[in-house]
Amino acid sequence: MGPHLPIVLRTMGPFLSRVRERRARSPTMTKTNAGNFFEDFRIGQELVHATPRTVTSGDVALYTALYGTRFALQSSDAFAQSLGLPRAPVDDLLVFHIVFGKTVPDVSLNAIANLGYAECRFGASVYPGDTLSTRSVVIGLRENSNRESGVVHVRSTGRNQHGEVVLDYVRWVMVRKRDPKAELPVAVTPKLAPAVAASDLVVPAGLSLGSYDAQLAGATHRWRDYDIGERVDHVDGMTIEEAEHMIATRLYQNTAKVHFDQRLAAGSRFGRRLIYGGHIISLARALSFNGLANALRLAAINAGSHTNPTLAGDTIYAWSEVTDKAELAHRTDVGALRLRTLAVKNAPSSAFPDKSADGRTDPAVVLDLDYWVLMPR
């Protein structure tokens, strides 16, 4: 998700200066990975990311401990089996973070800012024991006018051990150049869909909601009970501890230094490690259970932005708006709900903080996420 760029540049500038200084003082290291710089990317280039990751029940337990997620389908084997699945699937966002984490060393190790996502669609369900791997293809390159960085678009695809797609998405990042004077090819900016079409959403194989138990799921409100334009205050809040966000990012094998290296972060605007944006997405999703307990699967992410940075000690709240509803072809048991969820720091969400009349985002808002969920009808 795209951080608010001026904030990120002010935050990352001193940090990156210290990275450069440390590398300048170090002897040449030819056996370590310094990450790709902007001029290392080429249109059509395929990046095969290390390392395949087998997802275990331990990963699922740790993810639950970090966020307290309570959605019944991902929590209970018995509940999932009553709906036709072999067992409880892995939480969709845990899949997202693992697939994303594989790409960081090759795509965004030298990033100044992660700018956005599009066309993010979840595919085959993932179960403990499945092994995930990720490949990316460079689909866009554009040098910035300062010639010190550029924007890289990649399409990343995560697959399981059977070759089935579990997640496919586009993201774009601002990446630092190694040599500001390096000459680069003509800019290419891909044309991306504003949203994933409801007709392209994937319903997990075998899922049948005819015997869906709303009492066990925790709420009686189904797809038909939500109206376009309706807003839901999720009420609950969660304070982020320093250890939690670092454990979470390590769980996903995300190697971005800005989340871990306090010595380098001490020279940044905030003087502290920044929290991985995906951590906030997972918190917002977990908090949304109160009001959206029957949103049983996150089917697609259309867009989103991290509008303000988050630090350990911040307390996160969330509210959601229903922006669209869609029936799914040949399905009378499940529908799609398009949601816009905003995560808010250190302020209750009961006032539904959002953008002002001039388009500026309320400083309390740290995440603005547009996505589709599946819900029993």
In the structure encoding, which two tokens stand for residue 183, read together? 């000459």
Longest dimension (CA), the chain: 65
Q: Looking at the chain, how many residues does it have? A: 377
pLDDT digits (tens, 9 = 90+) for 132-177: 999 999 999 999 999 999 999 999 999 999 999 999 999 999 999 9
Stretch 23-35: mean pLDDT: 69
pLDDT band, residue 19 (cuts 50/70/90): low
Say yes or no to pLDDT of 44 above 80. yes
Q: Give the model's pLDDT for residue 4.
A: 45
Distance CA 3, CA 308 (A): 7
pLDDT digits (tens, 9 = 90+) for 197-249: 999 999 999 999 999 999 999 999 999 999 999 999 999 999 999 999 999 99
Dihedral of the alpha carbons of 293, 297, 300, 301, in degrees to the nearest 10: 40
Return the ∠ at Cα 48 (arms to 112 and 27), rounded to 5°: 55
Kindly report the average pLDDT of the chain as a whole number.
92
Q: Give the model's pLDDT for residue 220.
A: 96
Asked if 318 and 342 count as a contact pair (C-beta separation under 8 A), the reply is: yes
pLDDT band, residue 125 (cuts 50/70/90): very high
Asked if 299 and 372 count as a contact pair (C-beta separation under 8 A), the reply is: yes
Asked if 376 and 212 count as a contact pair (C-beta separation under 8 A), the reply is: yes
Of 53-67, 250-264, 271-285, 315-329, give the lowest mean pLDDT range. Answer: 250-264
pTM over 0.85: yes
**Which residues 6+ apart lie within 8 Å of 65 measured at CB?**
none
Residue 11's φ and ψ, nearest 5 degrees, are -75, -45
The residue type found at 107 is V
pLDDT band, residue 268 (cuts 50/70/90): confident
Say yes or no to pLDDT of 358 above 70. yes
Distance CA 109, CA 221 (A): 43
* SS3 of the chain: CCCCHHHHHHHHHHHHHHHHHHHHHCCCCCCCCCCCCHHHCCCCCEEECCCCEECCHHHHHHHHHHHCCCCHHHHCHHHHHHCCCCCCCCCHHHHHHHHHHHHHHHHCCCEEEEEEEEEEEECCCCCCCCEEEEEEEEEEEEECCCCCEEEEEEEEEEECCCCCEEEEEEEEEEEECCCCCCCCCCCECCCCCCCCCHHHCCCCCCCCCCCCCHHHHCCCCCHHHCCCCCEEECCCCEECCHHHHHHHHHHCCCCCHHHCCHHHHCCCCCCCCCCCHHHHHHHHHHHCHHHHCCCCEEEEEEEEECCCCCCCCCEEEEEEEEEEEEECCCCCCEEEEEEEEEEEECCCHHHCCCECCCCCECCCEEEEEEEEEEEEC
